[in-house]
């Protein structure tokens, strides 16, 4: 008999005489003549209540079932009297697939996030983490759907690279030389090679051929920081659009955030409800603001003025010409505007070489999207498409024009205005779930000294 997933069963409109369910025992209660098993198979948040009668031939075995054991149950789907759900399963056959000894760490009680990080191989069997990973999956699909509906092409840019797009340092080196060996000419690529921090430069090459493209892949930062917002390995979404300026870039960013939040609200109601109840009481209100407000758009200079006049006491000083810190970003979006904010036209001195110089010669056509609870969730810009301006910027910032010859050359042949942005996927998952630590939205997170699983 083909297995029915619990998610399917929950949508039944009429009872069924005989179906087969397979899953893991979450809890068991015994009455005098029955055992009630709560079974979860990961297809949805809900457990299925299985009623096992004492007349079953292996009733003794059933009474010994413990939390974590895997079972297969055949039986009838009947209206449930007391489980709080529409259906329950009247067991005809209960088969033990795999037992779970008493040492199974996920007994029915509340475990700390930190404890669960230590058993990342098992934590997806809890309500919270299975819900988080189902939402993560649904969000990833929504990303693809959003772009596909708009005629974007999905591209894969290289993970292994000899360039450093952001000039940010903090790179992981990749090598096939034995530890201690340093003769680059014997290395796999023959030159120093790193893990990518962004696929943007390559995405630009494809946007100026295919039109609208996007990447969705892993990126890396070897930052030795242990904040709840940073991981060494994370997934990033980077759209890049030919014939597109900064205004249109901001339009797409706003449209995308709203689309993704709405998608989760529409498609992940049960899982979302778990987070709204137990993780962030304010979650549904926040998602309402996100989907229902026009995002505020202000120049960087104005953002700085607002922060300076705010009277708020910040840990880091506010000054024109410096990067905004997370506390500043959150002040703007959470306290001042009380909705998402797009800050644009940052000073050129704090931005990478590839951003398009504005006519003032001082600022570049860049933008950050700030949201409550997270701060910056998107960073983007119009790219410098003018050959001479780009070459000058590269010289000023000490980038090798020989190394990036292909990037520069793309401005020589039919160059066009183009723009794009990067959206950190984990921050997106944090935004829609209210989970506050990035380690809890990635199945197997990578942070300093943490690579066990």
Is the Cβ of residue 160 or residue 350 nearer to its own copies in the bound state? 160
DSSP string, 117-148: HTTTTTGGGSHHHHHHHHHHHHHHHHHHHHHH
Instruction: Label residues 53-72 b or e (16+ Cβ within 10 Å = b).
Output: eeebeebeebeebebbbbbb
Shortest distance (Å) from residue 452 CB to its own copies: 7
Shortest distance (Å) from residue 167 CB to its own copies: 17
Shortest distance (Å) from residue 130 CB to its own copies: 6
Q: What phi, psi does 431 have (nearest 5°)?
A: -60, -45
Is the Cβ of residue 82 or residue 179 nearer to its own copies in the bound state? 179
Is the Cβ of residue 208 or residue 333 nearer to its own copies in the bound state? 208
Shortest distance (Å) from residue 156 CB to its own copies: 6
Which residues, in sequence order, are CB contacts of 228 under 8 Å at separation 6+? Answer: 436, 437, 438, 439
DSSP string, 52-104: EETTSTTHHHHHT--TT-EEEEEEEEEE-SSSSSSEEEEEEEEEEEE---TT-
Structure token pair of residue 452 = 């066990």
Is the torsion defined by CA of 373, 350, 382, 195 positive or negative? negative
Is the Cβ of residue 207 or residue 355 nearer to its own copies in the bound state? 207
Evaluate whether 199 touches 178 at the Cβ level (below 8 Å).
no
Which residues, in sequence order, are CB contacts of 81 under 8 Å at separation 6+? Answer: 88
Is the Cβ of residue 321 or residue 448 nearer to its own copies in the bound state? 448
Shortest distance (Å) from residue 367 CB to its own copies: 21
Is the Cβ of residue 205 or residue 301 nearer to its own copies in the bound state? 205
Is the Cβ of residue 229 or residue 446 nearer to its own copies in the bound state? 446
Shortest distance (Å) from residue 353 CB to its own copies: 17
| C-alpha distance from residue 233 to each of 65, 211, 304, 424 (Å) | 39, 29, 31, 11
Shortest distance (Å) from residue 227 CB to its own copies: 16
What is the spatial distance between Cα 170 and Cα 349, in angstroms, rounded to a whole number?
20
């Amino acid at each position: 008999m083909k297995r029915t997933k619990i998610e399917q069963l929950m949508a039944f409109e009429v009872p069924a005489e005989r179906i087969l369910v397979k899953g893991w025992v979450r809890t068991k209660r015994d009455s005098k003549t029955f055992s009630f098993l709560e079974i979860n198979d990961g297809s949805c948040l809900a457990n299925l209540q299985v009623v096992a009668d004492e007349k079953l031939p292996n009733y003794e075995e059933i009474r010994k079932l413990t939390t974590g054991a895997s079972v297969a149950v055949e039986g009838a789907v009947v209206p449930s009297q007391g489980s709080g759900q529409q259906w329950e399963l009247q067991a005809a056959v209960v088969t033990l697939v795999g037992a779970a000894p008493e040492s199974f760490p996920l007994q029915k009680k509340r475990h700390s996030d930190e404890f669960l990080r230590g058993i990342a191989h098992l934590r997806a069997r809890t309500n919270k983490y299975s819900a988080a990973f189902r939402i993560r999956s649904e969000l990833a699909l929504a990303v693809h759907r959003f772009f596909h509906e708009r005629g974007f092409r999905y591209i894969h840019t290289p993970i292994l690279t000899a360039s450093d797009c952001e000039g940010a340092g903090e790179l992981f080196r990749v090598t096939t030389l034995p530890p201690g060996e340093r003769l680059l000419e014997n290395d796999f690529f023959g030159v120093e090679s790193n893990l990518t921090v962004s696929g943007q430069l390559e995405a630009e090459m494809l946007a100026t051929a295919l039109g609208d493209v996007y990447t969705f892949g892993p990126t890396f930062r070897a930052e030795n920081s242990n904040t709840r917002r940073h991981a060494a390995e994370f997934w990033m979404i980077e759209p890049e659009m030919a014939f597109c300026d900064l205004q249109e870039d901001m339009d797409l960013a706003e449209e995308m955030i709203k689309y993704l939040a709405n998608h989760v609200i529409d498609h992940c109601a049960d899982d979302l409800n778990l987070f709204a109840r137990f993780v962030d009481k304010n979650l549904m209100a926040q998602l309402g603001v996100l989907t229902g407000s026009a995002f505020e758009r202000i120049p960087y200079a104005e953002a700085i003025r607002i922060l300076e006049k705010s009277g708020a006491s910040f840990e880091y000083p506010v000054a024109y010409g410096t990067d905004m810190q997370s506390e500043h970003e959150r002040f703007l979006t959470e306290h001042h505007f009380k909705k998402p904010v797009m800050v644009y036209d940052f000073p050129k001195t704090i931005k990478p070489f590839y951003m398009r110089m504005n006519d003032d010669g001082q600022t570049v056509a860049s933008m950050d999207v700030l949201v409550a609870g997270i701060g910056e969730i998107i960073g983007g810009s119009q790219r410098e498409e003018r050959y001479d301006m780009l070459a000058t910027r590269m010289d000023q910032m000490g980038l090798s024009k020989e190394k990036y010859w292909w990037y520069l050359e793309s401005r020589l042949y039919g160059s066009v205005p183009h723009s794009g942005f990067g959206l950190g996927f984990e921050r997106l998952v944090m935004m829609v779930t209210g989970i506050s630590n990035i380690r809890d939205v990635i199945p197997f997170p990578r942070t300093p000294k943490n690579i066990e699983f």
